[in-house]
Chains A and B, each alone.
Chain A
Amino acid sequence: MRRVLGYGGAALLAGWILVPIWFVVVGAFSTADSVYTYPLAPWPDWSLESMRFFVTSAGVPQALLSSVVVALITGVLTLLLAAPAGYALARFVFPGASAYRLTVLATRAFPVVVLSIPLAVFFLQWGIYDSVWGVAFMHTALALPFVVLMVAGVFAGVPVDIEEAAQIFGCSRFGAFRRAVVPNAAPGLAAAGTFAVLLSYNEVFAASILTLQEPTLPVFVLTGLTQAPLPFRYAGALFLLAPAFLFILLIRRRLVGVGGPTLR
């Protein structure tokens, strides 16, 4: 009886998440005629009309490209900055380690709204306003605290023994890191990088402040939203949602606990 209740509740909650996603899939893969017909049919026509309309609209290809470039820069830059810090937190006991953790966590308390406006002023002076670099730098600052903690967890999961063994067999400290630790940590590092990529692809507030002529995809969709016809909105929504379906599948197990025990 309790079992049935458990599965029933789980199915209900899963429906609450999945049914709305199904609605947007139907909207995106239906013809304009179907989208404007009321009442709506629960199945799509499996037409690519709306998607094609969205992708070929003026400005969309450039915005999509900007989004992808910004997300990739963010992913790589965040990993480059986070990997050494995460390794230090995982391997060394040193004064200041917990202060560092705490500071990194405290950055979470400062909303993106407060950050992005002064950064826009800085970027104007530095000549990187309205460029993929400016947005990527901002997104890196947002992703870095999470990713450092994720990466620390990844390195902590690689046994110290194999690193010491590599050193005994003649590797330098860095050589041991590169040959013994990195291959073992690679899946976890990739997941952490994926997290940064996803955060960047989705982020809209800071990107809308930091761009003008070169918007990212969410900013482009947001700017034209009030005048946009329904097929454009629904196809756009699917484009914005789609990466999550794949990426969360890949990294779901590594996300758990990022904010939990480490946050105290």
Chain B
Amino acid sequence: MSVSSPRPSAALPYLLLLPSVAYLVIFFASPMVQAFGLAFTSTTGEWGLTSLSAMVSDDRFWPAVWTTLILLVVLLPIQLALALAMSMIITGRLRGRGFWLYVFLLPLGVSELGAGILWYSIFVEQGWLNTVLQGVGLIDRPVIWLDYREPWRVIGTIVVAEAWRSTSLLVIILVGGLRQIPKDYLEAADVFHAGPWQRMRHVVLPLLRPTIRTAMIVRVVLAFEVFATVIALGGTATDTLATQANRAYTEFQDAHLASAYGLVILVVSLVAVGLVLAALPARRERGE
């Protein structure tokens, strides 16, 4: 082997990458460029802001923006806390780690719509939540949780459903980070009689910082794609940017309007990612 010329092997890795790169150029990069073209043209094909202004002047635009942002802001801390607790259990000293790992990762493979219907069966008037609450005597008669005249209540149910469904993704990221923390650090904490809280606060969390940042970025991007859960729980009464984009295409057959929504989602999610990076700046860590 050592006598063979170096040329073919120098080109080999690039040849191996080529199919995936070509695929992503065709099915990822070029539609991305086309999205801008669609958003900045009208249905008649003229360049301009027609589609964007049509979008902004829609009565449901601003409510959709606010609902999307509220969902993000409320869900982020809840999910980080839940995911951190789950990851500590998976990487901790309890028995049955395989079982905990399985259970906490289950929602990762769960269909978004399936999860939405699952929570619908819980929050519907004659559903599980009311059955349980009435069973223990907390309420006298069923509460209408999915009351479409009470947007806050519906948003609350979406928060619960999303917290259930999409925390697993953060768990796999955090578990990966926790496993990279050298055992010496934790042992050192034990030597100095650090309690569990001090160990968490002064050893684990600082070392986990880059991983937490990654988890937040992933969560932020996904927050702007909330779609089927919203439709399953909120019907047509509650809008997010993604449900509006879908409606623009499937109901109004307007690819330009739908792309305008897509562009808003892209811009808002890039801004949000920027905010996360600004809040948790990358720090040069020793030994890396």
State the A residues within 8 Å of B (CB): 2-3, 6-7, 9-10, 13-14, 16-18, 20-21, 23-24, 27, 36, 38-40, 80-82, 84-85, 87-88, 91-92, 94, 96-97, 100, 103-104, 107-115, 117-122, 137-138, 140-141, 144-145, 148, 167, 198, 201-202, 204-205, 208-209, 218, 221-222, 225-226, 230, 233-234, 236-241, 243-245, 247-249, 252-253, 255-261, 263-264
Chain A residues in 8 Å Cβ range of B173: 259-260, 263
- Judge whether A260 and B164 touch: CB under 8 Å: no
- Judge whether A13 and B104 touch: CB under 8 Å: yes
- B151 an interface residue at 8 Å Cβ cutoff? no
Chain B residues in 8 Å Cβ range of A88: 12-14, 16-17
Query: Distance (Å) between the CB of A38 and the closest chain B CB?
Result: 4
Chain A residues in 8 Å Cβ range of B172: 255-260
- B89 an interface residue at 8 Å Cβ cutoff? yes
- Judge whether A6 and B23 touch: CB under 8 Å: no
**Which of B109, B114, B227, B250 is the one whose CB lies under 8 Å from A237?**
B114
- Judge whether A218 and B228 touch: CB under 8 Å: yes
Mask of B222-250 contacts with A, CB within 8 angstroms, 1/0:
00110110011001100001100110011
- Judge whether A85 and B249 touch: CB under 8 Å: no
Chain A residues in 8 Å Cβ range of B10: 94
Chain A residues in 8 Å Cβ range of B21: 85, 100
Known: A240-B111, A263-B173. A114 touches B266 (CB 8 A): yes
Chain B residues in 8 Å Cβ range of A244: 106-111
- B258 an interface residue at 8 Å Cβ cutoff? yes
- Judge whether B241 and A113 touch: CB under 8 Å: yes
A90 to B124, CA, bound (A): 50
- B77 an interface residue at 8 Å Cβ cutoff? no
What residue in chain B is nearest A80 (Cβ atoms)? Answer: B19
- Judge whether A260 and B127 touch: CB under 8 Å: no
Given contacts A117-B38, A117-B249, A237-B118, 16 further A-B contacts (CB under 8 A): A18-B103, A38-B142, A39-B134, A84-B19, A108-B218, A113-B261, A117-B245, A121-B34, A121-B38, A122-B30, A122-B31, A145-B24, A233-B117, A244-B108, A248-B106, A258-B172
Known: A205-B225, A218-B111. A120 touches B255 (CB 8 A): yes
- Judge whether B12 and A24 touch: CB under 8 Å: no
Number of A-B contacts (CB under 8 A): 296
Chain A residues in 8 Å Cβ range of B104: 13-14, 17
Mask of B93-132 contacts with A, CB within 8 angstroms, 1/0:
1100010111111111111111101111110101110110
Chain B residues in 8 Å Cβ range of A167: 1
**Which of A38, A80, A110, A241 is the one whose CB lies under 8 Å from B131?**
A38
A141 to B128, CA, bound (A): 38
A48 to B160, CA, bound (A): 30
| Selected A-B contacts with CB under 8 Å, 8 pairs | A40-B127, A85-B21, A94-B13, A115-B35, A118-B30, A118-B31, A204-B113, A237-B118
Dominant secondary structure at the A interface: helix
State the B residues within 8 Å of A (CB): 1, 10, 12-17, 19-21, 23-24, 27-28, 30-32, 34-35, 37-38, 82, 85-86, 89, 92-94, 98, 100-115, 117-122, 124, 126-128, 130-131, 134-135, 142, 164, 169, 172-177, 179-180, 196, 210-211, 214, 217-218, 221, 224-225, 227-228, 231-232, 235-236, 241-242, 245-246, 249-250, 255, 258-259, 261-263, 265-266, 269-270, 273
A107 to B109, CA, bound (A): 20
- Judge whether A233 and B120 touch: CB under 8 Å: yes
A120 to B196, CA, bound (A): 53
Q: Shortest 10 CB-CB distances between A and B: which pairs?
A: A260-B176, A240-B114, A244-B109, A118-B34, A257-B176, A237-B117, A88-B16, A118-B31, A114-B262, A38-B126
- Judge whether A225 and B231 touch: CB under 8 Å: yes
A118 to B93, CA, bound (A): 49
Chain A residues in 8 Å Cβ range of B106: 17, 21, 244-245, 248
- Judge whether B169 and A259 touch: CB under 8 Å: yes
Known: A141-B23, A202-B112, A248-B106. A23 touches B265 (CB 8 A): no
A38 to B258, CA, bound (A): 41
Dominant secondary structure at the B interface: helix
- Judge whether A113 and B262 touch: CB under 8 Å: yes
- Judge whether B105 and A252 touch: CB under 8 Å: yes
Known: A6-B89, A256-B175. A234 touches B121 (CB 8 A): yes
- Judge whether B19 and A260 touch: CB under 8 Å: no
What residue in chain A is nearest B107 (Cβ atoms)? Answer: A17
**Which of A20, A110, A117, A226 is the one whose CB lies under 8 Å from B235?**
A226
Known: A14-B103, A113-B262. A23 touches B122 (CB 8 A): yes
- Judge whether A234 and B142 touch: CB under 8 Å: no
A145 to B35, CA, bound (A): 20
**Which of B16, B109, B115, B225 is the one whose CB lies under 8 Å from A87?**
B16
